[in-house]
Amino acid sequence: MKYKYIDLHLHLDGAITPKIAKKLIKLQNLKYTKNRFKLKKLIVAPKNCKNLNDFLKCFELPCDLLQTKEAIKTAVILLLKNLKKQNVIYSEIRFAPQKHTLKGLSQEQAVLAALEGLKEANKNEEIKSNLILCLMRGKNNEKENFETVELAEKYLVKENGITAIDLAGAEGLYKTEKFEKFFKKANEYNIPFTIHAGEADNYKSVLTAVNFKAVRIGHGIKAAENEETLKILKEKNICLEICPTSNIITNAFNKEKGYPFKLLYSYGIKLTVNTDDPAIENTDIAKEFKYLKKNFNLTKKDILGLLNNAIDFAFTGKEQKEKLKYIFKEF
Ligand SMILES: [Zn+2]
């Protein structure tokens, strides 16, 4: 039986496959190789990255290819087309507008281009995918992060558009606690948000994100290190967007102890399964479920439970959720 899927944690720049890259190169008449094999070498991360730099390097080409309105719009359309082929019927694509301003676009132009792509791809779909705007961890980008929050406020909708914000980037270098002011503002504006936390940094980062009132946490697997954190996540009904392959590649967990799926799952933490950067990690949502099924003996009931969590915690409108519930009841 073929499953239908949902992916709530998926980065646009991490989803530029060699095939999409080739199209973007042609579209912009850029001087990169158009050889699929060479593109693959540039984009797909080594199976076990020696260090984070090895991994981050893979974002350089995709980022370069996403610096014009047409390229961003096209990339969103092609990505959603790919997802449809992979039976992903609802997804939330995230990107940081400030990473698309290298050739003169404003953040707002980048946002509008992505929105155009989304609307085009959603046009004939009953279930409408959405966009999440990422703020970036870093230094000297306070102005840019505030601008992203303001843009989210300006374009925020319940469905078929921008429905939330996120915080992405090097968690180990730039602690979550430093970003409180942005999420205070997001709370003032009633912008829903998720935060990457407990991926490269420890469980305290997860607790900080919870204190900011994040309703979902990107990764969050380090919560497994601390019983109190698990208790709080459960009590507050906060969902972790887990991305197994990504965590394996970036060495985000202790390999001897193993991936903490079972611990989180049996504790009763709400989990969703996601791809993070499918092109760079050479994965797709079916592979992520396959990994969990193989290593943790997931049953069909478990899989449906995880997909239902994704519906419950999706940043989309009530009607869309009801439609999704209906579809997932059917199979
Ligand atoms: Zn991510």
Residue type (1 letter), 92: E
Q: Helix, strand or coil for residue 246?
A: helix
Is residue 96 within 8 A of residue 66, CB to CB? The reply is no
199 flagged as catalytic: yes
CA 330 – ligand 1 centroid, Å: 30
The pLDDT assigned to 56 comes to 86
pLDDT (0 to 100) of residue 199: 94
pLDDT at 330: 61
Q: Which domains does the chain possess?
A: 5-330 (3.20.20.140)
Q: What are 95's two structure tokens?
A: 């990107």
Count Cβ atoms within 10 A of the Cβ of residue 202 and give its class: 0-12 exposed, 13-18 middle, 19 or more buried. Answer: middle
The 3-state DSSP class for residue 156 equals strand
Distance (Å) from CA 9 to ligand 1 centroid? 6
CA distances from 240 to 40, 84, 221, 244 (A): 30, 24, 8, 12
Q: What is the pLDDT along the chain (331 residues), one digit of tens a residue?
A: 578 999 999 999 999 999 999 999 999 999 999 899 999 999 999 877 777 778 888 999 999 999 999 999 999 999 999 999 999 999 999 999 999 999 999 999 999 999 999 999 999 999 999 999 999 999 999 999 999 999 999 999 999 999 999 999 999 999 999 999 999 999 999 999 999 999 999 999 999 999 999 999 999 999 999 999 999 999 999 999 999 999 999 888 888 889 999 999 999 999 999 999 999 999 999 999 999 999 999 999 999 999 999 999 999 999 999 999 999 886 5
- 90: β partners: 6
Question: Which pLDDT value is given to residue 1?
Answer: 56
Distance CA 213, CA 187 (A): 8
Look at residue 53 in the predicted model and tell me its pLDDT: 77
What region, left, alpha or beta, does residue 160 occupy, with left being phi > 0 and alpha being psi -120 to 50 degrees? left
Q: How far is the CA of 64 from the centre of ligand 1 (A)?
A: 19
Q: Give residue 2's pLDDT.
A: 76
Amino acid, res. 122: N
Alpha-carbon torsion (139, 249, 306, 322), positive or negative: positive
| Single-letter amino acid, residue 119 | K
How is residue 47 written in tokens? Answer: 């199976």
Residue 292 Cα to ligand 1 midpoint, Å, equals 18
Coil/strand/helix, residue 134: strand
* H or E, element range at 49: none
Task: Classify residue 200 as left (phi > 0), alpha (psi -120 to 50) or beta.
Answer: alpha
Collapsing DSSP to helix, strand or coil, 219 comes out as strand
Q: Provide, for the chain, the percentages of residues in helix, strand and coil under a 3-state DSSP scheme, each rounded to the nearest 5.
A: 50, 15, 35
- Say what the alpha-carbon torsion angle 144, 149, 154, 159 is, to the nearest 10 degrees: 130
Burial class of residue 236 (count of CB atoms within 10 Å of its CB; 0-12, 13-18, 19+): exposed
Give 169 Cα–ligand 1 centroid separation in angstroms: 8
CB 203 within 8 A of CB 182: no
The kind and range of the H/E element at 8 are strand 5-11
Strand partners, 302: none
Residue 204 carries which side chain, given as an amino acid letter?
Answer: K
| Residues, CB within 5 angstroms of ligand 1 (ion) | 276
pLDDT for 22:
97
Active-site hit among 92, 147, 171, 199: 199
pTM beyond 0.95: yes
Quote the ligand 1 centre to 196 CA distance (angstroms): 6
